[in-house]
Amino acid sequence: MIDARRCNTRDGITGALVCRHDLYLQLLEGPSEQVSAAYMRISRDDRHAGINKLVSRQVTNRMFEDWAMLHDPAKSLIWTQDEISEGILGRIPQTEIVGMFESVAKNAGPEHSR
């Protein structure tokens, strides 16, 4: 996490990482080239497996503009462990995934790491 924050700060990337024992969801926002490069670094890192890009879109306003990488302990996730294991993330609309991150951004408080 510390290395990600350092690289993100260097590259002008902000975002959030939602962690749960059965799932990691990460949102990266910033210049397209730098976000693509960060995604490729993550994809090549052998500490990560089963990586899937769920949403890719251009935005004008960042959700996590003050966070090099917000760490959310997954209190905000709305999907159950059974839903995750049954593949819900491959079936739900992108707007629902974005909405989950919007909720994280709205509720980001002192318990979240910067």
d(CA 50, CA 62): 26
Tell me what pLDDT residue 107 has: 82
The residue extents of the domains of the chain are 2-107
CA 114 – CA 108 distance, rounded (Å):
10
Q: What does each of the 114 residues of the chain score in pLDDT, given as a tens digit?
A: 678 888 899 999 999 988 887 788 899 999 999 999 999 999 998 888 889 999 999 999 999 998 888 887 766 677 888 998 899 989 999 999 999 899 888 887 654 554
Q: What is the pTM of this model?
A: 0.82
How many residues in total does the chain contain? 114
Helices (DSSP H) in 1-114: which residue ranges? 2-11, 32-44, 81-85, 94-107
Domain range 2-107, its CATH number among 3.30.70.100, 3.90.1420.10, 1.20.272.10, 3.40.30.10: 3.30.70.100
